[in-house]
Chains A and B, each alone.
Chain A
C-alpha cells in the first residue's frame, strides 16, 4: 500500500539553504554538531537532514537503516536552531527532526536500538528493564521522605533511579537538599518515566500516556513545585507537560543550589581544585540556565573555574541527547562526542569536570575511561563538589 508521509512542518523543510552555519558554534572554532563530527558526512549535519527529509517526504528516497541512523543520530542538542540564520524557520528545526522520527515510528521502520528502548519503557516503565519496585532504592538510607505535603517534589528520573552514576548523583543532590533544609519529598517506587526521550525519539503515543499518568499523579498528590535532577526532565516538564494541562513550577537542582550558596545557607570550608564546567544542552541551550551552575562553582572557596573553549550556548554536546544515551546511534571511537569533550576539558588543565546532568555524567565518565585519563580527570556533579567543600 502506498504510504503518504506527512509531518506537521513539511511546508517549511524546503527553506533550508544548507549554508552550514548550523554546523558551527557562534565563533566557528570547530564543528559543533556532534553527529556531523562523529560521521563526517554532510548528510549527518542539520542541513543534510533537512534536505534528506524533504527528499524522503517527496518519495525521492526510501526509508532505509542508514536513513534511520541519520535521523536518530541527531542528539537534539539544539546548536543548529541557535546558529541557523533564518528567523521563523530555525525555531522549528528540531520539530522537523522529531516529526520525521515520529513518522518512522508510524512506518514501523526504526532502528532495533530505538525499538528496544520503547519496548523497555513500555513494558518495564524504564529503559533499564528493572523492576518498578526497585525504582526508589537509590534513596535507601538517606532518610528522604515520600512526597506528602513538602514544598518540592524531587524528581530523579530513570537515569537517577537505575544507573550507577545517576544514582550516585541522585543521592548526593537529595542528601544535600535535605540537609540544607530544602523541603523535598520523593516518589520512590511510585515515580515513573518522564517520557522526554520517548518523545524526542518519536513515540508520541507512548509519550502522551506517560505524561498524562505523571500529570495525574502529580496533581493527585498536590505537587506544585518540582526540582529535577535531570535537565531532560526539566525540559519536558517545562515545555511539553503544559500542553497536556500539566502546569508545575519546575526547577533544576542547580538553580536551588545557587540560591543556597548565595544566601550562605551551606557552611563551606575550602577545597583547592581546578574545575571546568560542561553545560548540559537541556539546561543551557534549551532552557538558558547558564549562570546558576557557574554561580555555584564561583561560590565555592578554593575552586578555580576554568572554562572550556566551547561553553554556554556554544557548548559541545556530550552526545547523549536525543535518546542517544540509551540507543547510542552516534557510536564510539575517536570521534565520539564525549571523548572530544573530554579532550577539550583536558586542554583547560582542570582536574575535575563538573556536570549537572546524570546523562552527561555517565557519558563523560565513560569517555574518560576510553581516553585512559582516569588518573588526571574525574567527573563530579555540582552537588558532589559542594559536598567536598562543605564544612564537616
Chain B
C-alpha cells in the first residue's frame, strides 16, 4: 500500500493526506453506537481536481472511497466499512455564488451549514436557507445527500428537495453537472424540465458519487420570527392538531415532541409552532389564526398554549444547541436516533413504541417529529441517549434502535439515513423490481463498487 500513499501525496500534497495512527483512529468512527472500522488513508481535498484524481486512482486500484462532511449522521455512514480512503470534504468550504434575485446559492462540497448562515446574515439579510437542527459544522452536501430536513421543511419539503443543481464526481472519476448548470451558468433547477438526474445521487449516502458543488434554494428571511407551544396529554389528538395547523398554510416549522425529563414535560405532547412575518400586524394575525385553529381543543379541555417565555431563547436558536446537549443527559457524550419518515396519522402508535422501547431496554428517550411538506409526512425521531463509557448501555441503545427500525418498516415507514444493517432491512422489505433497479443503477455508476461500500449493498 506504500505506492498508494505516495500516489495520494502526489495528488494532495503532504498536508492533504494522512495514514498516521491518530487520523486513522479518529476517521474510523462516528459519534453513534456502531463499531469503528479504520480507513487506510484519510485525504482532505481543497479542489475538485483533487477529488477527481483521488477517485480516479481509487477506481483504478479498486480502493473504497468514503466521502465525509462532519460525520454527524450518527448512523455510521462515514465509517469506512471496508477500509480504503476517507475523504474529509470540509476544506472545500467556499460559498461560490449567491443569486439574490433567483434565490439560490452555490457552495463547495464541504461548506458547513453555519458558515452559510453567517454569510447570508452578513451579505444577504433578506435570504435564508433551511438550517437543520444538527450542529453548524455539518455540511450542506452531506445533509442533502441523506435527505436531511431543516427549519423550512414544513413549507418546502426535504432539504434535498431544495437542491437547485449539483456538480458530482462520479465513481469513475468524471465530473458531471446536474440540472440547469449542465446547460449554462445558472443553478436554478436540479432537474425540471430535464429528466431529474439528481435522483441518482440524492439519498444514496455517498454511494454513487461525491458532491463537489451544491446549488441550494434560498427563501425569504422575514423580519420577525415567533413561536407558540401547544400542549396536549392525548397522543391520539396530535395528528388532528397538526392537520388543523398545516391547513393554515402559515407556518414556518412544526415539531411535535415529548420527553420524560425534566418532569414538567412528562406525559405531555408539545407542538412547537414557528411562524414568521414582516410586521407585528402580520405576526399577530398569524398568531390569532393559530389560536383560532386550535380553539376547539382548548374548549374541550384537551390542551392549551403554554407559557413559552422561559424556553423561548433556547427554542428560537437556529440551530438549537440544546439538541446536541441531549447527548449529555446520561453524562456520557452520546445519542443516536432512528428517524423514520412516516404518516402523521401514525403518530400515536409511534409515540407508544418509543416509550415501550425505552422501558424494554432501560434507556433514556426523547422524540421530536418534524412535519414535512405541509403534512404529507413526518420525520419521527426515536432518540436514545447513552453513556459512551458504558458499553452495555450502548448495546441496549443499538438493540432499541434496530427494533425501532423494524417497527417503522412494519408500519410502512421509510428509515431515514439508515445504517448499513437498516439498509439491508429496508432492501428486504423493498419491492423486488425496485431493488433490482436500485442495484442496476448502482452497478452502472460504480462498476467496481468503490463508493462507500457496504452501504446500499445486498447481502453477500
Binding site for B on A (CB under 8 A): 14-21, 23-24, 27-30, 39-43, 48, 51-52, 55, 60-62, 64, 66-67, 70, 85-86, 89, 309
Contact = CB atoms under 8 A, between A and B. Distances in A.
A64 B135 contact: no
A15 B70 contact: no
Interface string B323-336: 01101100111110
Contacts of B42: 41
Given A29-B119, A40-B91, 4 more contacts: A14-B387, A15-B333, A29-B115, A42-B26
B31 interface: yes
A24 B388 contact: no
Given A14-B389, A40-B91, A64-B21, A19 B26 contact: no
B118 A17 contact: no
B25 A55 contact: yes
Contacts of B287: none
Give the contact-size bracket for chain B.
Answer: 35 or more
Given A17-B334, A19-B324, A28 B117 contact: yes
B222 interface: no
From A20, A24, A86, residue with most partner B Cβ within 10 Å = A20
B114 A24 contact: yes
Nearest to A331: B15
Contacts of A64: 20-22
B22 A14 contact: no
B43 to A, nearest CB: 10
Contact of A15 (B15, B321, B388): B388
B233 interface: no
Contacts of B389: 14
B137 A24 contact: yes
A28 B117 CA distance: 8
B373 interface: no
Interface in B74-93: 88, 90-91
Contacts of A85: 321-322, 324-325
Question: Lowest 3 A-B CB distances belong to which pairs?
Answer: A28-B114, A20-B137, A29-B118
Nearest to B68: A42
Contact of B332 (A14, A19, A21, A43): A14
B118 A21 contact: no
Contacts of B334: 17
5 contacts: A17-B333, A27-B118, A40-B91, A43-B22, A62-B21
B15 A21 contact: no
A85 B322 CA distance: 7
Given A41-B44, A55-B25, A61-B25, A28 B115 contact: yes
Nearest to A50: B333
A39 B15 CA distance: 7
A309 B123 CA distance: 13
B22 A67 contact: yes
A15 B331 CA distance: 6
Contacts of A51: 26
B286 to A, nearest CB: 28
Contacts of A309: 122
B132 to A, nearest CB: 13
Contact of B324 (A17, A30, A39, A42): A17
Contacts of B335: 17
A60 B21 CA distance: 10
Contacts of A48: 26
Contacts of A19: 31, 72, 135, 137, 324, 327
A34 to B, nearest CB: 16
A28 to B, nearest CB: 3
B137 A89 contact: no
A61 B272 CA distance: 45
Nearest to B325: A85
A369 B15 CA distance: 24
Contacts of B70: 20
B161 interface: no
Contact of A60 (B25, B117, B119, B333): B25
Interface in B106-128: 112-115, 117-119, 121-122
A280 B113 CA distance: 28
